[in-house]
Structure 1
């Protein structure tokens, strides 16, 4: 008898590590006995996201797409009512900003050679599951199970299982269709179809693998291609035959060396990998929320993050996670996003978390700066600004999840240089409090550096030159300085772990000095809140934004200051909205909860920081209440809706980019207790 997470839920006294092992074993048994049917590995996690859809144009991203294993090509289930076999795709994300190059993949055509009639296959099931898409078809003569999964970042495999209900001979063909204008150009060796693309060296190769089967023949006609067996397959009654259709995307054949795949073991490896991911959701819990709901949201977060995982290609030297495949503007890695992704990935995919950090630090300059964002083609990288300093926080999250001291040692000097860069390049008046800025002197790039591009607090800012290629806003930002205060404490912790005792004491000394400066210069005792401070006169920028609770998240506020800030956070006229913790107080006349971007919509990272701020200062019940509202009041979150870039705090409706990685990361961290 198989024990699943649902089956052992009543044994709450069971040791957590034993629960983990039982659940992993359960997932493996369910997933390794051939292609998974509906309900496996866990019926609660089927169709967490609706993966049905068909592109109306090559750039259509109006529905969810299945990616995994770092692949740059993805697929979807055909829309409901489309009863033909196969899958939709692929969508190739590495072509420009990404586009669909295929309409159909792995369509199965079976002909009974005795009657010379095609066999009509009737669909019975079509699901997305963690790590694969699955479709089932039946007929009086034969049943067909199709499972699409990724063997690695290069290879997508469609595993097709044919099971005869009576003895018969079958002519078997696998068909596909390219998007108009994306014609499969060549047939290689008579057995494979290769598709090339204008203005790109990339190649998409499609092959059919059948153990012990006769030879194959490939052909192309217009937008259609076919790979067929040259001789019929003979099946006995009850016999099963498995075929694999492999689509290999090679980004640059001149430099890339795609990993080989063993079809028979690839599915087993996929199930083992996903069993580990899914086991990590067992601790997902939130007071007042059913654990099944918490775990389902956590699985959606994992699927979202791994759906945005892209392997090292071109000028991206390590794997990482893009912000959202649903937005054509996000086809690269961003620094601020990367730190948040890594902190969450540490909980279930620590190697990817490490590589996410490395990908950004591959481009660190000699003076310590890390760029805003990097792309497949480094010519597009943005060096006009950096992003808020949460890299050390993410590195420590990886260490706490893995105990990997070697990674701390690898990152320490890089993190120190990045930390010091802020004080050398962004402290205009040399008073120990730092400003956001830019390398080109533009205000827009300085706002980008904050991550809160159009925040109200920056409406009256001007730029000041610090040095060659170094500019600051004329105000010190409270969130930036809170992050840097916390980073000094985190660097102290890393120094202690790797045996740098002198550094450890120096970091603590610097943190103590910075703590006093933030408390004295950036807190308004009359208003009971933290604000940005203008340079020169030091007057505070009295805008109630999410940056005001960053000192609580970082632990820099005194208990008395924290109590006052909590009062503001829990005021329903300011931040305790239906979906709590918007980026601008509700009673601000500039509050724009739908179209305001950083002027009122709720962003999950800031909301997560708000919940953790409450917890840090002992407001556990209030933190639970706010966290529960973030989950329960986000429209569709506990159903099939994707995780969005931001939300309307008054209605819970999601807006901007769907399948947004740092929203997923924030939810995963929020639920991981």
Structure 2
């Protein structure tokens, strides 16, 4: 039933959701309205192009109606269900407010509302409107990894009257036959395992075709009195979850103010942490505050809880691209480092999730998904070895000794896997490769799928199920050098002196080999080399500055490398750090993927690499040029993109891309 609240208590709850607690902080989410444009209208279930909001790892999201769309008054857009290769909008608006004027005996036409506004705050959707002397504030926020809460606060600004509040909603016709009601909930069957549930404080629910409708008990509102109605939406991924999350949702529907207050405090804390920045950062968080928040929101909106064959929570590359509804190894290392200061358990679980798919030999899978029956684990290749960096950075942030005790033997096994399976001539320099003997999977292993440096590579067999390309890659070996140093540091923390000493020695030997064999003094750059002759594959790409980031280069080599990076004919393009030198004949950012577009992870490695060797002014200058030139990054509601055109600076490929956001956060 509708609860009439004591004015003081109600205002306290309302203010907790809408006003900054000045005693706690000068920064709140109210300072960041509509950092991303989440407004749109959904007319079909397969519709693309409308951005959405999620939190706490839900596999569903919601959006805002556009202010001018008065048909959307009383509700929010969605939900959007994130389903591997089959994501779709369940509804144009699954839960919409109804207001009945009991005295007049009619439902109010909310499309005649005035002063309508739809606002996205970090962690919260809000709609405000006025109709017939009623002021309505409608909120949507997430309460746990399966549940969103929708609540409407109605304030009487006129004479005393009796009103009746309720909800209504519809689903797209493709699943209309599966809408049913039971007690105080509406059930929508998605398939044999998945279902959506709507929970209310009312048992009299009418279901017809693909729609439902309900009205709670009439309530008399005196002048200036207020009341509230709430409901919960749950996207449940397994039948075993139904009872658990229905039980958890019941108190949320009865007392949403408590959950809303907790939501506000959590998000304000994130923003306070974000605003602190770092003293030695190359980007100033005060100057680019909106960008920092947008980067953080991108990660939070891509946060997915453990479900199905994803055994630990993590961050997917992009909710906006159906093919990215899984976890990738390379991406995950970056996501974990970026999110660790804010959600340390999520960061640790992101790493655990990838190591859940480590085989007996020590190899880590490239990627996997929630439902492996639809698309299995990709064991054709792994990804570049950055997990040691990720584990160490998360430990630095959390000081969780048990975490590194858990991860250290797994990391060690993975590191040694490279030398057993990707070092064809056993000379201590590794190659990218594959398990199926294909060159394309070997290129995927680098993460730079179609990079020009692999065009002429040949695949060779090392042992059964282990193949290499016939070139030793500078970035791979620079990452392996860095990983040896992180293993050394972790071993020291764990009191494993013999292991630490061994990896310190191995690291030094590898560093000397990279400096001697992979650097060309004639043009001041590092290159991949042919396996047999050690001839340099003289194609300039971001792999060549990986020795800066991983601190492999000598001081003199670093000096010459920075000159190449700062050259406006090569890498200092209008948006800097293309993935192929602009002087190369195959430079093609529009179609090239890794043959010219700017990827922000590689830009980050260059910027941090310059800083590592004391070129701080150059690093800061290039970081500022990077973010200010990219289309839509600064002072814009546009989403962060997968990559960017280095000449036109336009965003390319997937929107709301997590590793781009991760490296932006690291720059702060």
Q: Tell me if 1:110 matches 2:99.
A: yes
Q: Does 1:649 align with 2:646?
A: yes
Equivalent of residue 577 in structure 1, options 553, 556, 573: 573
Name the structure 1 match of 2:248.
Answer: 260
- What is aligned with 2:425? 429
CA separation of 1:293 and 1:47: change in aligned 2, threshold 3 A: farther
Provide the residue aligned with 1:629 in structure 2: 625
Among residues 161, 174, 181, which one is paired with 2:167 in the alignment?
A: 174
CA offset digits 1:17-45 (Å, max 9, x no partner): xxxxxxxxxxxx99973432699934441
Matched with 1:326 is 320
User: 2:574–2:646: 8 Å Cα contact kept in structure 1?
Assistant: yes
Cα distance in structure 1, aligned partners of 2:486 and 2:498: 15
Structure 2 residue corresponding to 1:360, chosen from 328, 350, 354 = 354
Instruction: Give the direction of change, closer, same or farther, for the CA distance of 1:492–1:31 in structure 2 (3 Å limit).
Output: farther
How much has 1:224 moved relative to structure 2? 1.9
1:474 Cα deviation after fit: 0.4
Query: For residues 281 and 299 of structure 2, what CA distance do their matches in structure 1 show?
Result: 25
- Structure 2 Cα separation of the partners of residues 558 and 433 of structure 1: 18
- 1:654-669 matches, within 5 Å, as 654-669=651-666
Q: Give the corresponding residue for 1:25.
A: none
Corresponding residue of 1:14? none
* Structure 1 residues 63 and 187, CA gap change in structure 2 (3 angstroms): closer
Per-residue Cα deviation, 1:628-651 (whole angstroms, up to 9, x for no partner) = 011111111121110000001112
Partner-residue secondary structure (3-state), 2:204:
strand
1:478 matched to 2:474? The reply is yes
- 2:88 corresponding residue in structure 1: 99
Describe the shift of the 1:61–1:186 C-alpha distance in structure 2 as closer, same or farther (beyond 3 A).
closer
Q: Point out the more displaced range, 273-282 or 127-136.
A: 273-282
Q: How far apart, CA to CA, are the structure 2 residues paired with 1:135 and 1:607?
A: 39
Secondary structure of 2:288's match? helix
**2: distance between equivalents of 1:247 and 1:444?**
43
Q: Deviations over 1:36-82 (max 9, x none)?
A: 26999344411010000123432223121111110001111013411
Q: What residue number does 2:228 align with?
A: 242
**Alpha-carbon distance in 2 for matches of 1:309, 1:287:** 25
Structure-2 change in CA distance of 1:89 and 1:504 (3 Å): same
Per-residue CA deviations over 1:389-439 (Å, capped at 9, x if unaligned) read: 100101111112122222111111111111111111100010100000000
- SS of residue in 2 equivalent to 1:35: helix
Matched position secondary structure for 2:127: strand
The alignment status of 1:338 with 2:332, answered yes or no, reads: yes
- CA offset at residue 566 of structure 1? 0.6
Q: For the residues of structure 1 that align with 2:285 and 2:431, how far apart are their CA atoms?
A: 42
- Alpha-carbon displacement from aligned partner over 1:438-497 (angstroms, at most 9, x marks no partner): 000011111111100000000000100001100001001100000000000011011111
1:194-593 correspondence to structure 2 within 5 Å: 194-198=187-191, 200-209=192-201, 215-229=202-216, 231-254=217-240, 257-258=244-245, 260-261=248-249, 262-263=251-252, 264=255, 265-284=258-277, 291-379=285-373, 380-593=376-589
TM-score, structure 1 normalization: 0.91
Task: Check the 8 A contact 1:31/1:271 in 2, yes or no.
Answer: no
CA distance in 2 between partners of 1:493 and 1:32 (Å): 49
Root mean square deviation of aligned Cα: 2.0
Other structure's SS at 1:564 match? helix
Q: Give the structure 2 partner of residue 125 of structure 1.
A: 117
Alpha-carbon distance between aligned partners in 2 of 1:277 and 1:288, rounded to the nearest angstrom: 21
Q: Distance in 2 between matches of 1:420 and 1:97?
A: 38
SS of residue in 1 equivalent to 2:180 = strand
Q: Does 1:151 align with 2:137?
A: no
After superposition, the Cα gap between the structure-2 partners of 1:89 and 1:493, relative to the gap in structure 1 and judged at 3 Å, is same
| Stretch of structure 1 that moved more, 323-332 or 284-293 | 284-293
Q: Which runs of 5+ in 2 are unaligned?
A: 1-10, 21-25
The CA deviation at 1:328 is: 1.2
Task: Select between 132-141 and 315-324 the one with higher mean Cα deviation.
Answer: 132-141
Q: How many residues align?
A: 636
User: Distance in 1 between the 2:211 and 2:181 partners?
Assistant: 16
- Distance in 1 between residues matched to 2:81 and 2:12, nearest whole Å: 31
**How do 1:81-96 residues align onto structure 2 when only pairs under 5 Å count?**
81-83=68-70, 84-94=73-83, 96=85
Distance 1:356 1:464, change over 3 A: same
Structure-2 change in CA distance of 1:608 and 1:288 (3 Å): closer
Aligned to 1:3: none
Question: What displacement does 1:237 show?
Answer: 1.8
Cα distance change, pair 363–95 in 1 and its aligned pair in 2 (3 A): closer
Partners of 1:160 and 1:427 in 2: how far apart?
A: 62
Q: Give the secondary structure class of the aligned counterpart of 2:17.
A: coil
TM-aligned CA deviation for residue 288 of structure 1: 9.4
What whole-Å deviation, never above 9, does each CA across 1:138-167 have from its counterpart, x for those lacking one?
Answer: 124311111110001111111211111232
Q: 1:185 aligns with which of 166, 178, 182?
A: 178
Say if 1:408 and 1:493 are closer, same or farther in 2 by CA, change over 3 A: same
1:52 pairs with 2:71: no
Preserved contact between residue 143 and residue 259 of structure 2 (Cα < 8 Å): yes
Q: Secondary structure at the match of 1:260?
A: helix
Distance 1:558 1:666, change over 3 A: same
SS of equivalent to 1:422: helix
Instruction: Work out whether residues 594 and 647 of structure 1, in 8 Å CA contact, stay in contact via their aligned partners in 2.
Output: no
Question: Does the 8 Å CA contact 2:39/2:50 hold for their aligned counterparts?
Answer: yes
Conserved in 2, the CA contact under 8 Å of 1:123 and 1:135? no
Secondary structure at the aligned position of 2:144 is classed as: coil
Is contact 2:92–2:172 with CA below 8 Å preserved after alignment? yes
Q: CA contact under 8 A between 1:195 and 1:203: conserved in structure 2?
A: yes
**Counterpart secondary structure, 2:292:** helix
Instruction: Quote the Cα distance in structure 1 between the aligned partners of 2:666 and 2:282.
Output: 17
For residues 193 and 352 of structure 1, the distance between their equivalents in structure 2, rounded to whole angstroms, comes to 32
Any conservation in 2 of the 1:287–1:628 contact (CA below 8 Å)? no
- Whole-angstrom CA distance in 2 between matches of 1:268 and 1:634: 36
Alpha-carbon distance in structure 2 between the residues aligned to 1:30 and 1:295: 29
Q: Is the 1:202–1:252 Cα contact (8 Å) retained in structure 2?
A: yes
Contact conserved, 1:284 with 1:294, CA < 8 A, in 2?
no
